[in-house]
Chain A
Amino acid sequence: MSDPAATTPLPGDRPGQTPAGQQAGTARPFPAAGNITDAEREELRRHGILMTSLEELYGWGRSNSIWPLQFGLACCAIEMIAAATARFDIARFGAEIFRPSPRQADLMIVSGTVTKKMAPQVVRLWNQMPEPKYCIAMGACAISGGPFKQGYNVLKGIDRFIPVDIYIPGCPPRPEALLNGLIQLQAKIKGEKLTGPDAARFTRPEEPSEFPIPEYGAHDLVPPKNTAVWSPPSAPGKA
């Protein structure tokens, strides 16, 4: 079977240019996934040629094998464990390997209330995770303090100290909601760019991947929030 790429110009080729796949001194680089439509790619796939970009392949591989950290704080942890059991089966999404060590994990599902006593430990664990890493705030308590918002020992949301990618509301969210959040995270990872102005956070060395750990103060954590990561929501101004 002749190699169509050798003689027939491909639909994406511009006239007068070397067809793709040919090695030449002035060969134009392998076309990025953006230069070809999905229909054309599908056509190629039916002929047995897979076209992809490194970015896509990388994203596909990473999103389908996210390893969460075994990190359950409170009631949401039980629903997280239930999501890992046979009925809801997080293993179908590639995420059933819950790593006990943060060094081997790339997703931290903060499931449950983060108290001020626990907050330095959470930030320390986040710092110990290698990039690329993601955080899901599962449950109302991790998002904003939840039903325990009036607590003196309750941190009003883990996003005060670390950047959160996906928020899953619920008290506790059903295991299906956690799977929905995981699917959205997978879509987010798949869409991450490795180069360019809107490249993912972990590719940029100037973006911090470790965050300062709060200390225990006399009345509260010191500092009570990390202003580089979080600023309070602003009320809509009165028009």
Chain B
Amino acid sequence: METIEQIRDRLVARFPAARVELVTNPGPAAEHSLLLDAAHAHDLAVFLRDDPALRLDYCSNVTGVDWPDKEITDVTKTTVPDPAGGQPKIVEQKTTRLQPGCLEVVYHLYSMALKHGPVIIRLRTANRSDQVTLPSLTPVWRACDFQEREVYDLYGIVFSRHPDLRRILMWDEFKDHPMRKDYVEPDDYEWEPTAHGAVAEKHKAHLPPPAATPEAKP
């Protein structure tokens, strides 16, 4: 199978208007992926599926990922000359900016016809709050049906042109998107006699207040 860079070049050649970026994977697995832009994702996916050299007819896995907003601190150092004529001072200036987060969907594609893969493609939303729509790839690979519903249920990404987008794992009246990093679960814990780990943290809220200790000693 061709390398991911070659695939990217062919995609860009075939769809000049589309933005296809290579996302390198730093770890030892070296599974690099392609970031596709949402507007052309469907056409790119159809190309990947039907191209005779790739024939990526099998979408194995659809994953949602939450990248929350990150506060980035930029440190700029400027050299200020000393008016008294001595050593120039180096002044550090820290500015914080908010890098907006996004929600991401990762698709792992394999080929059953040619027995190669994986080719990993990603789609990212513009932000985490109001622009959370992405095109559904269910019309291309039916395998994405339930998995995109799950991403909608747990992350809140709305897939346009999905034949049946509704919650799949949680009940329909549920309002939150539980797999997001800022989800706060309801506090239905109680005091535990043998709490440990994460549950120990949660049961602390239900401990009785410590009794007042007697001051004087008999």
Direct contact of A and B (CB under 8 A): yes
Distance of A178 Cα from B75 Cα, bound (Å): 64
Within 8 A of A (CB), among B182-208: 183, 185-186, 188-191, 193, 198-199, 202, 206-208
B199 x A150 contact (CB < 8 A): yes
User: Which of A216, A233, A235 contacts B173, CB < 8 Å?
Assistant: A216
Taking CB atoms, residues of chain A closer than 8 Å to B97 are none
Q: Which residues of A lie under 8 Å from residue B189 when comparing CB positions?
A: 149, 156
Residue of A nearest to B179 (CB): A152
- The answer to whether B210 touches A224 (Cβ under 8 A) is no
Contacts A152-B183, A238-B210, A238-B211 given: A220-B171 contact, CB under 8 Å?
Answer: no
Q: A213-226: contact bitstring with B at CB < 8 Å (1 yes, 0 no)?
A: 00011111000110
Whether the Cβ atoms of B191 and A235 lie closer than 8 Å is yes
Closest to A232 in B: B190
User: Number of B interface residues, CB 8 Å?
Assistant: 25
8 Å CB contact of A150 from B171, B183, B198: B198
Known A-B contacts A117-B171, A216-B171; the reply to A225 vs B199 at CB < 8 A is no
Q: Which of B169, B172, B186, B193 has the most CB of A within 10 A?
A: B186
- Contact A219:B176 (CB < 8 A) given known A156-B189, A232-B206, A233-B191: yes
Contacts A235-B207, A238-B210, A238-B211 hold; do A220 and B191 have CB atoms under 8 A apart?
no
**A159 CB to closest chain B CB, in angstroms?**
12
Residues of B within 8 A of A219 (CB): 174-176, 186
Interface residues of B (CB under 8 A from A): 169-176, 178, 183, 185-186, 188-191, 193, 198-199, 202, 206-208, 210-211
Known A149-B199, A150-B198, A216-B173; further 15 A-B contacts with Cβ < 8 A = A150-B202, A152-B178, A152-B185, A152-B186, A153-B178, A156-B189, A156-B190, A217-B173, A218-B174, A218-B175, A219-B174, A220-B188, A235-B207, A235-B208, A237-B208
Query: Mind listing 15 A-B residue pairs with CB under 8 Å?
Result: A116-B171, A117-B169, A149-B189, A152-B183, A153-B170, A153-B178, A156-B189, A216-B172, A216-B173, A218-B174, A224-B186, A225-B188, A235-B191, A235-B207, A235-B208
